Structure 1
């Protein structure tokens, strides 16, 4: 079905979202990561919209949503989750599965913990909830979290075109399969004046997510939502141990480690779409 590009007003912000599929069909909410936006899900939405209702919002500071200055908006993962939560309320969504990637995981697990009765299942694509998934990539972040007065300027290297290209292509067996248009779009938004302060605020706040891992694991053990992990096993940001760890709390979790990097949809779209379709069918069995 045709994609719709919409905006809803939430908390004084314009929140952009992509929507496709029949609203009466089972809903899948897709939550994007850094440094991208709902554009990451454009093709997957197209693959699944024949049977499912898809909603993919952009967070404040990302994509086509409002991007207030860091001094004017408290950029924390709690705040982003609040906006997404109210967006889904404004759209009248009361029952849905989640598809989370990267930053989408801490936002999605906050929603799941708040509203366990709404969650039909969780698809995690390199969306971490365990210390086991944190690779040495995070060492400079951990140093900063341990000393809030430290100079964060070194982390600005993650906002460069080279870093964005690395995220898309590292660990990919054939980089020629990666469409460069998305990384170009992502970089254009990263380069907006003042966006570096927005992203540094979220880098600093990521420590709050790690502190919440035990609570999210308790949510998984208590509520046992069906879980599908479709994980790029060559990811050096969130390693494959983070995918395997879900089975410790949800023993029947479906774990698929794919020959891909941090953005497995870029090279494994058909496989992931099929796995996601089968998983969503199982939720209604």
Structure 2
């Protein structure tokens, strides 16, 4: 991968002999922004937002174990479950002694980030939510066929781990406004070049909780119930309305839990919203975060960009 796309200072945290990789950019005494990615992305997904904030904020962006530049242990050497993901994130937050956190999440990052946040509401000051969930499948939303296919024993592993269909498919179908530039598509593929490299990609799919007996089900249940502990904190929602997984059903659920949230809809954008709507969304998120970094500061409505629906 062209390193100019990922020009960041990085560190690793030891997790029982496994390296948990994370970006650590910006002034160490700056306001903290914690970015939690999903599947099959890695901290590379946040690159443009990191660049927009690192002059004024301390930006932390971990790679989940098995993802990005973190170690990729076998399923026998690491418990690839939501519980482990939340524990890893919490260990990093405690190691770095992070407080007054702006939490930014996408995809599985919602379950992981909010899974931690509902138990530590005093350490979170605001939230940015991008095509994700921290609750069960909303009523009226059917489970996508593509994800069901990836969960079929044998066939799912052959597709996700053997053919790398999940990563390559995401590069193709998670953007709807324009194709990913070749160098960006290559950046997403870079960490996932072999069967063993793709264990986390597959395990994330099989860990989606659909039934009470699924390992992550009770955690999502508790996270959903705990969202009210964060209801008084400012929230920015950026949503690609052409996301075939996290669609309008999920957005409506976020709005139900957080009716005061600042919502920006992008009708022509897909799941990789930071790729599709980069030019508009990155400045809007940065404005929201910077405004909140000043104690007592409110949004200057006269300076806000036009609503996403009204832009050509």
TM-score (norm 1): 0.86
Note the C-alpha offset of 1:46.
0.3
Note the C-alpha offset of 1:97.
1.2
Q: Is 1:164 matched with 2:172?
A: no
Q: Is 1:271 matched with 2:300?
A: no
C-alpha RMSD of the superposition: 2.7
- Which of 222, 229, 233 does residue 215 from structure 1 map onto? 222
Note the C-alpha offset of 1:173.
4.7
1:34-73 aligned within 5 A: 34-73=39-78
- Which of 179, 192, 195 does residue 193 from structure 1 map onto? 195
1:67-86 aligned within 5 A: 67-86=72-91
Q: Judge conservation of contact 2:33–2:58 (CA < 8 Å) in 1.
A: yes
Normalized per residue, which structure has more helix? 1
Inter-CA distance 256–37: structure 2 relative to 1 (3 Å threshold):
same
Note the C-alpha offset of 1:279.
2.0
Inter-CA distance 163–61: structure 2 relative to 1 (3 Å threshold):
closer
CA distance in structure 2 between the partners assigned to 1:32 and 1:57 by the alignment:
8
Note the C-alpha offset of 1:158.
4.3
Note the C-alpha offset of 1:183.
2.9
CA distance in structure 1 between the partners assigned to 2:139 and 2:280 by the alignment:
23
Q: Judge conservation of contact 2:13–2:20 (CA < 8 Å) in 1.
A: yes
Q: Judge conservation of contact 1:129–1:216 (CA < 8 Å) in 2.
A: yes
2:32 aligned partner: 27
2:303 aligned partner: none
Higher alpha-carbon deviation: 158-167 or 275-284: 158-167
Inter-CA distance 171–223: structure 2 relative to 1 (3 Å threshold):
closer
1:183 aligned partner: 185
Query: What is the total number of aligned residue pairs between the two structures?
Result: 279
Q: Is 1:228 matched with 2:233?
A: no
Structure 1, unpaired ranges of 5+ = none
CA distance in structure 2 between the partners assigned to 1:5 and 1:155 by the alignment:
31
Inter-CA distance 86–61: structure 2 relative to 1 (3 Å threshold):
same
Q: Judge conservation of contact 1:4–1:18 (CA < 8 Å) in 2.
A: yes
CA distance in structure 2 between the partners assigned to 1:244 and 1:6 by the alignment:
37
TM-score (norm 2): 0.79
Note the C-alpha offset of 1:218.
2.8
- Which of 117, 120, 132 does residue 138 from structure 2 map onto? 132
Structure 2, unpaired ranges of 5+ = 1-6, 210-214, 298-312
Q: Judge conservation of contact 1:134–1:237 (CA < 8 Å) in 2.
A: no
Note the C-alpha offset of 1:212.
4.1
